[in-house]
Amino acid sequence: MERSLEGKEIILGVTGSIAAYKAVEILRELTRRGAAVTVVMTESAQRFVTPLTFETLSRRPVLTDLFTLEYDKQIGHVASAGRADLLLVAPATANTIAKCAHGLADDFLSNIYLSSTCPVLLAPAMDLEMYAHPAVQENLSRLKGRGVSVVEPEYGELASGLIGRGRLAELSAILQAVEDILHRQGDLSGETVLVTAGPTQEPLDPVRYLSNRSSGRMGFAIAEAARDRGAHVMLVSGPTFLPTPPGVTRMDVTTAEEMYHAVLDRLDDTTILIMAAAVADYRPSTQARQKIKKREAMTVELVRNPDILAEAGRRKGSRTLVGFAAETEELIQNAREKLEKKNLDLIVANDIRVGFGGETNRVTILDREGGVEELPELTKREAAHRILDRVVALRKPTP
Ligand code: PMT
């Protein structure tokens, strides 16, 4: 169903691709749905379509020249003052993608990209070899890692006559991505979201520990996505090299017991708890004070760690509780058992071959009513938004 974009302020960046003419149709649709659109064109885009076309349809001056003060003042209040709701670049060439990825600012559009604080959506369009080139792919994954959304190009006939992936995504796919981003904004405002991320490390002696392969990426992506949707976000993280997302309050812990206290001490202030951490179920019963010397064989006795989520489930109240499950067998059945046993609202079952470590995840979301939503492989940021979509739906007061 088509959703209104009334009251939304969008900056549409148009770059020098043969698909630049399709940006005219994108502009028409955005304005038809009620958005106010400011168009920014790169120099090479103007070789494909004239600014006049966009000016007429947007009823606003088109921004082209970095050195025109008049323009600068205008975009200053649209972009930097945080008034823009979205920066959409369609089509996005390999050149503009590279500039964004590396922080170059030599034209109006790249300046706006660097100074805007709003969500950014790129719709790449280029020849198939260019799109497949590792440099372009690395730039795109760098941008995705920073939270930029990308509408992947389509497979089909290209301007070169070759057939492959590189065609600008269909209008409907671009508009869907715009809607998804704009309608998520602010839907978690007023909520306090506590997210856990990463592994725990359970020390054996001063240099050794038991742990797992969690990188923290899934939890960090949830923290960032919740922040972008207006929540106050606290992040309890096990050891990871990931930088703290701006605007998120982070507490670092090492062991499961430390994570237990960090979470439960903050539970009263929390309205939504999402436990993406891979908490060690066991720890060595004793921790040697000195480094353990080599011997022929060795037995380590393990004791159970406290179950943080189960305890939060016992103190649930009106909170929304979301757990994760990573399994090597009987994924759905085991996840459902955890959902019930720990008194959760949702559990996110991971495909263990994808979820641990990398930038993407393939998840299935289970709810208390027996619902099973299977998602395709997505970036962790996109998976995070899909999980939060479900949380938002649960938090909505029933009419
Ligand atoms: O960090 P990444 O590399 O991005 O990888 C993400 C992930 C695969 C680690 C993550 O998506 C994930 O699946 N985390 C949960 C891993 C798991 O198998 O959890 P579990 O089945 O042991 O526990 C179920 C739930 O209870 C989890 O939400 C867990 O955080 C929680 N738990 C578990 C044990 C314990 N002692 N206390 C807990 O609260």
CATH assignment of the domain containing 214? 3.40.50.10300
d(CA 225, CA 201): 26
Structure token digits, residue 75: 């975009």
Domain annotation covers residue 109? yes
Domain annotation covers residue 95? yes
> Which of ligand 1's atoms lies nearest the C-alpha of 220?
4
Domain annotation covers residue 187? no
Q: What is the pLDDT of residue 81?
A: 44
| CA-angle at 85, arms to 83 and 86, nearest 5° | 125
Domain annotation covers residue 66? yes
CATH code where residue 63 lies = 3.40.50.1950
Distance from chain centroid for Cα 221:
5
> Which of ligand 1's atoms lies nearest the C-alpha of 263?
39
CB distance 350 to ligand 1 below 6 Å: yes
d(CA 204, CA 254): 13
Are 339 and 331 in contact by the 8 Å Cβ rule? The answer is no
> Which of ligand 1's atoms lies nearest the C-alpha of 240?
1
Q: What is the pLDDT of residue 73?
A: 62
> Do both 162 and 226 map to the same domain?
no
Q: Which residues make beta-bridge pairs with 366?
A: 347, 372
In one letter, which amino acid is 306? P
> Which of ligand 1's atoms lies nearest the C-alpha of 358?
3
* Cα torsion angle, 82, 86, 92, 98, sign: positive
Q: What is the pLDDT of residue 77?
A: 52
> Do both 75 and 138 map to the same domain?
yes
pTM: 0.84
DSSP 20: G
Distance from chain centroid for Cα 237:
17
> Which of ligand 1's atoms lies nearest the C-alpha of 342?
26
Q: How many domains does the chain have?
A: 2
Are 84 and 77 in contact by the 8 Å Cβ rule? The answer is no
Alpha helices, H only, the chain: 22-32, 45-48, 51-58, 69-75, 94-102, 108-115, 128-132, 134-145, 171-184, 217-228, 256-266, 308-314, 331-341, 352-355, 380-395
Domain annotation covers residue 359? yes
Ligand 1: residue whose CA is nearest its atom 27: 324
Q: Which of 240, 253, 279 to mutate to test the pocket of ligand 1 (most atoms within 8 A of CB)?
A: 279
CA of 325 to the centre of ligand 1 (A): 6
**Which residues, 6+ apart, have CB-to-CB distance to 334 below 8 Å?**
325, 327, 349
- Which residue's structure tokens are 């000016």? 55
> Do both 200 and 345 map to the same domain?
yes
Distance from chain centroid for Cα 102:
20
> Do both 118 and 252 map to the same domain?
no
CA of 61 to the centre of ligand 1 (A): 51
> Do both 17 and 149 map to the same domain?
yes
> Do both 165 and 244 map to the same domain?
no
Residue ending a domain, among 182, 216, 234, is 182
> Do both 178 and 221 map to the same domain?
no
Structure token digits, residue 299: 């037995």
Residue ending a domain, among 138, 154, 182, is 182
> Do both 152 and 239 map to the same domain?
no
- Identify the active-site residue in 212, 334, 343, 350: 212
In one letter, which amino acid is 263? V
Q: How big is the chain, counted in residues?
A: 399
Among candidate residues 26, 47, 46, the one with its CA nearest the CA of residue 37: 26
Residue ending a domain, among 150, 182, 214, is 182
> Which of ligand 1's atoms lies nearest the C-alpha of 281?
36
Residue 139 annotated among the catalytic residues of the structure? no
d(CA 258, CA 237): 10
d(CA 205, CA 396): 48
Q: What is the pLDDT of residue 151?
A: 95
CA of 94 to the centre of ligand 1 (A): 38
CB distance 309 to ligand 1 below 6 Å: yes
> Do both 211 and 167 map to the same domain?
no
CA distances from 271 to 233, 274, 325, 396 (A): 10, 10, 21, 13
CB distance 275 to ligand 1 below 6 Å: yes
Structure token digits, residue 239: 């050891």
Helix H or strand E segment including 267: none
CB distance 357 to ligand 1 below 6 Å: yes
The residue range of the domain holding 15 is 9-182
CB distance 256 to ligand 1 below 6 Å: yes
CA of 148 to the centre of ligand 1 (A): 26
Per-residue pLDDT of the chain (399 residues; tens, 9 = 90+): 778 899 999 999 999 999 999 999 999 999 999 999 999 999 999 999 999 999 999 999 999 987 765 555 666 556 554 679 999 999 999 999 999 999 999 999 999 999 888 889 999 999 999 999 999 999 998 998 788 899 999 998 888 888 888 999 999 999 999 998 998 888 999 999 999 999 999 999 999 999 999 999 999 999 999 998 999 999 999 999 999 988 899 999 999 999 999 999 999 999 999 999 999 999 999 999 999 999 999 999 999 999 999 999 999 999 999 999 998 889 999 999 999 999 999 999 998 888 888 888 999 999 999 999 999 998 898 899 999 999 999 998 766
CA of 283 to the centre of ligand 1 (A): 16
Q: Which of 214, 303, 314 to mutate to test the pocket of ligand 1 (most atoms within 8 A of CB)?
A: 214
> Do both 148 and 209 map to the same domain?
no
> Do both 260 and 140 map to the same domain?
no
CA of 185 to the centre of ligand 1 (A): 27
> Do both 101 and 14 map to the same domain?
yes
| CA-angle at 32, arms to 30 and 36, nearest 5° | 55
Domain annotation covers residue 56? yes
Domain annotation covers residue 4? no
Q: What is the pLDDT of residue 12?
A: 97
CB distance 269 to ligand 1 below 6 Å: no
In one letter, which amino acid is 290? Q
Domain annotation covers residue 3? no
